[in-house]
Amino acid sequence: MRNLIILCMALFAMTAVAADNVKAVNRNNLDPTTSPGENFYQYACGGWKLANPLDPQYARFGTFDQLAENSRNQVKDIITNLGTNNRRGSIKQKVGDLYAQGMDSVRLNQEGMAPLTDAINKYKALPRNNFLGAIAEMHNGINDPFFNSSVMADMKNSNENMLYLMQGGLGMGDRDYYLDKDANTTKVRNAYVNYIQQLFQLIGYKKGKAKKAAKHVMAIEIALAQVAMTREDTRDYSKLYNVTSVAQLKADYPNINWDQYFNALNIQGLDKVCVFQPKSLALVNDMMKNLKEEDVREYLLFKYIDAASPYLSDAFADANFDMYSRAMSGKQVKMPRWKHSLDVPNTLLGEAVGQLYVEKYFPAESKKKMQQLVDNLKRALGEHIATLSWMSPKTKVNALVKLNSFTVKIGYPDKWRDYSALDIDPAKSYWQNVLAARRFQSEYEYAQLGKPVDKERWYMTPQTVNAYYEPSSNEICFPAGILQAPYFDPNADDACNYGAIGVVIGHEMTHGFDDQGRNFDHNGNMVDWWTAEDAAKFQELADKLGAQYSAEIVADDVHANGQFTMGENIADHGGLRVAYSAFKNTEQGKGNTLIDGFTPDQRFFLSYANVWAANITKEEMLRRTKVDPHSLGVNRVNVAIRNLEEFFNAFNVQPRMKMWRDPADRVIIW
């Protein structure tokens, strides 16, 4: 449910900038051999792509990733300067030791599979009457065998937390990897079977036995995939919101020992749950009765080793990389060890690192300036809503109430997480400490049951280069990590700041009114605040927009999935329109002064396109089409802007050109 939306950043825009100080539109990023009317993405980004060939450690790398790399280097500077003699139990000790253990390849290779020994012995001897206890332990921060569970706000009572039970158990992440028959998917699926077998061999299984175990594991995952809800259906909250009492849950799925499961997670006094995918849970219920004990043991053992493999010796880590990075994404080499080691404390002790981060890298003035830009975009979106031709006055009132109720979070939280109960012991193995940190986070999540929803909580760390809209709290959040160059440049003109940062802020705002966000009211409750006629008109426009994206070829003969990416496409389109309107209210936007030979409108659209400049492998394009609700960068530019008359005017795009779209075929939603 939680929409952690890729991209959207912010700060403020400057006016009356001298041309010699302008940095945002770099002519070296352009491909002058391509006409903007033929392929605007290539025209705007072709030079950048040529100058930044894909490093083999990445499956995709773009300007957004450059900002992420900048943040990572800032975090590295913080962590590597923590020192080595920090007080035991201090944040510096926990962060520093966790990073140091990841860097100690000699110790990791000496230990080999030793950190797994107790778990291997446990799962090999696991009796059927304790399957649900073991599954619950796995759900407590390790992996998601058979199904999964999570604590989030009740979609119809946003002040109350609820336990959600959802489909899971698929190591490759999406049902289509198990069911599709095309060449690329078949190649990935074969690599996954080999990976499973390899992990079993690494823990001592003979080749024949490992091959048999891999077959059993794959059979379970294929069966789960066959009943799993499609990506498109998981976007429909009305299909997911299936609330039932715990008593009825036990009656409907009697072969799942729910008492054992809840006790293992220390969940007490639960009276109701939400079952996202009943069909999937029904299969798990049958499996708990009919699967051979040995098959369940092998499956659980694999899921445990799979989760641990990145934190073990090179043999395990390399196998993990070859599967999930090389086979699935097309990466050719592993990232330097320091990057992976850094990501562990940066993620698992995120707010502890974040507190150090904002002290050093987030100026207090940035928060105020960011709020100014958000206010400008919010005002523009309100004007758009008020003047929509397809929406009735009644629904407009409700939309404006929701817009004006947005909670805006900028930079960092007002209160920080307490990590004092987490023990990182350097005498223990790296995996043991990673597991302790993962369980600490998981137990924190489950402990929210029975408590009111914490509206002050952040779902991203301050150093994260990303942003999000959360429907249950009707909030938009912009962490400090995203509020930096190259996405915001105080020396650039308004056109460039609104075209980049402004669009992505508008993107997050529009998520409150996309095909998912529109189902929630100003209080974050799933309430239908639309007239039936307006809802039908919205769906008609959304379907038309989705068809534009689905017409695009991703690679080979694979089309983009406009239905799956609907929310992001609506947000991109809305973000562009709203940011452009806000820009036109600035001094530069009201004029037509050239800077470096470009008009203000041209600079706006060039700045937007440069947000998505990137090189990407074919494998990664195909993978993202299966699992990522965001369109590929080329489509986020070329498809989205072809609905804006202002783009055609800015670059004199005529009907004979490939970028042209007839007025009757264009879409305006927000």
Q: pLDDT grade, residue 486 (50/70/90)?
A: low
Using DSSP, state whether 247 is helix, strand or coil. Answer: helix
Residue 375 and residue 251 share a domain:
no
Residue 649 and residue 500 share a domain:
yes
Is pLDDT larger for residue 16 or for residue 219?
219
Q: What is the DSSP string of 583-620?
A: HHTSHHHHS---BTTB-HHHHHHHHHHHHT-EEE-HHH
pLDDT in tens, 2-40: 433 333 322 222 222 333 344 568 999 999 999 999 999
Residue 373 and residue 289 share a domain:
no
Angle between helices 183-202 and 207-227 (to 10 degrees): 130
Chain center to CA of 433? 25
Residue 507 and residue 390 share a domain:
yes
- Measured distance CA(24)–CA(495) in Å, rounded: 9
Tell me whether residue 502 is in a domain: yes
At 269, which CATH number? 1.10.1380.10
**Minimal CA–CA distance to 1: which of 175, 173, 154, 126?**
154
**Minimal CA–CA distance to 98: which of 432, 594, 398?**
432
Give 290's contacts (C-beta < 8 A, 6+ positions apart). none
- Asked which of 1-10, 144-153, 480-489 is least confident by mean pLDDT, the reply is 1-10
Last residue of a domain, one of 270, 299, 328: 299
- Measured distance CA(111)–CA(317) in Å, rounded: 13
Last residue of a domain, one of 263, 284, 299: 299
Tell me whether residue 445 is in a domain: no
Angle between helices 566-584 and 600-611 (to 10 degrees): 150
Residue 528 and residue 387 share a domain:
yes
Domain count, the chain: 2
Residue 440: is its pLDDT beyond 50? Answer: yes
Surface-to-core class of residue 117, CB atoms within 10 Å of its CB (0-12 exposed, 13-18 middle, 19+ buried): exposed
Q: Note the helical H segments in 104-245.
A: 105-111, 117-124, 131-139, 176-179, 183-202, 207-227, 237-240
Tell me whether residue 398 is in a domain: yes
Tell me whether residue 215 is in a domain: yes
Tell me whether residue 420 is in a domain: no
Residue 151 and residue 263 share a domain:
yes
Tell me whether residue 14 is in a domain: no
What pLDDT was estimated at residue 24?
66
Residue 139 domain boundaries: 129-299
Number of H helices, E strands in the chain: 30, 11
Residue 392 and residue 269 share a domain:
no
Q: How do strand 60-62 and strand 614-616 relate by DSSP bridges?
A: antiparallel
Give 178's contacts (C-beta < 8 A, 6+ positions apart). 170, 172, 189, 221, 222, 225, 226
The whole-chain average pLDDT of the chain stands at: 93
At 495, which CATH number? 3.40.390.10
pLDDT in tens, 535-588: 999 999 999 999 999 999 999 999 999 999 999 999 999 999 999 999 999 999
Tell me whether residue 605 is in a domain: yes
**Minimal CA–CA distance to 260: which of 439, 128, 146?**
128
